[in-house]
Amino acid sequence: MGRSQSLPRGGDPRFGPDADDTGCTILHVDMDAFYASVEVRRRPELRGRPVVVGGVGPRGVVSSASYEARRYGVRSAMPTARARALCPGAVYLPPDFTAYTEASRAVMRIFRDVTPLVEPLSLDEAFLDVAGARRLFGRPADIAALIRRRVAEEQRLTCSVGVGPSKFVAKLGSTRAKPDGLLVVPAARVLEFLHPLPVSALWGVGERSADALRRLGLRTVRDLAEAPAGLLRRAVGEASAAHLHELAWGRDPRGVTPEQVEKSIGAEVTFDTDVSDPDEIRRSLLALADKAGARLRTAGQVGRTVSLKVRFADFRTISRSRTLAVPTDTAREMFDTAWALWGALAPGEPVRLVGVRMEGLAPAGETPQQLTLGAPERGWREAEAAADAAAARFGRSVIGPASLLGRRDTRQVEKPTRP
């Protein structure tokens, strides 16, 4: 069996910006160390220093690390305590998801200036189909360069772009282009690019699957591509075997899906120490409802079902939900419902995590809401919209619906929940 190799380097002329991009109409754009880069953008004095964004408490997790921090071994999803041990001199910052969402929206607008066929995967990455943009903007590699230039000039952020004939190949290309690079995988060189890679490069191969494949002597993508079907099925099951075999031969027929509708928007918090104090739980639910409400309004969405998530000290996790009579995007109504769900639950034991999420989303402009002028829910919406406008100028950590939130609890570590 073959030996696994790293991805071809971005400086390899076979896969550089001048490579043949005929038929390579799929771009994968991935922002570089996005959360950390947004923080450095608004705090220029941090440029060149290790910056780590994530939960700052003892149970916190790293959300993003600048490339200066990565040189010390700091990685996303790593416990913050481990990151501090590896890089004690880094600047550690709590996440500001309102700022990251605003930056993401600005970047996505640049993408949509080029093509309407944009499929966001998260705040910091998206697939683009530029087949229809070639007449106006040129070859796919030129379009990728244009996007990188506009993001740098207009947003003062960097991104890496992979250009390929399929989503799978384009995403592999952007991975190798990092940071701040561009890599083209010509359609005629896909297998030349793909087959030397370790099996872990394939979508759907996690650590456990990779171990199972390696035990069978399947170390490279070429090994997997040439393996008997029965051997693959024994290692990963019938469905996964068929999926991986197709990817190993560079076959990925999926197209770019322009609209990816969010199914829920919310936030959750992991406490530094397990909490049983009802007042602290209440403050947490208030703060989480405020964050979720701001994200709903930023996304132009309303929802009908409020969900409460609770994780206990022994890691048992339960959820409770309630559907509202009228869709809403207000933090106040989300909190009232979540607090009622908590009261009905009455767990009576310390909790490690709580979360608030709004489900059953729909566009705000197309959904009937509270129509009575001056009604309480209408008043809360107007007040919270005004707070949003102030937060856009001064930051949500400074401006917030104080009558709703009260004192912020700085011992908490907040992270977003996505569908």
Going by the annotation, the residues of the binding site are: 30, 124
Whether residue 57 contacts residue 414, with contact meaning beta carbons closer than 8 Å, is answered with: no
Residue 160's beta-bridge partner residues?
Answer: 30
What number of other Cβ atoms are within 10 A of residue 44's Cβ? 9
125 is catalytic: yes
On the CB side of 361, how many CA atoms lie within 13 Å of its CA? 22
Q: What is the DSSP secondary-structure string of 78-102?
A: SBHHHHHHH-TTSEEE---HHHHHH
**Residue 367 burial class via C-beta count within 10 angstroms: exposed 0-12, middle 13-18, buried 19 and up:** middle
**If you ran DSSP here, which 8-state letter would residue 301 be given?**
E
The active-site residue, picked from 39, 125, 268, 414, is 125
- Residue numbers in the known binding site for Mg(2+) are 30, 124
- The Cα 224–Cα 241 span in angstroms is 9
What number of other Cβ atoms are within 10 A of residue 379's Cβ? 14
**Residue 191 burial class via C-beta count within 10 angstroms: exposed 0-12, middle 13-18, buried 19 and up:** middle
Q: What is the DSSP secondary-structure string of 96-156?
A: -HHHHHHHHHHHHHHHHHH-S-EEEEETTEEEEE-GGGHHHH-SHHHHHHHHHHHHHHHHS
- The Cα 281–Cα 284 span in angstroms is 5
Closest CA to 414 of 79, 95, 19: 95
SS3 49: coil
**If you ran DSSP here, which 8-state letter would residue 23 be given?**
T
User: What is the set of active-site residues?
Assistant: 125
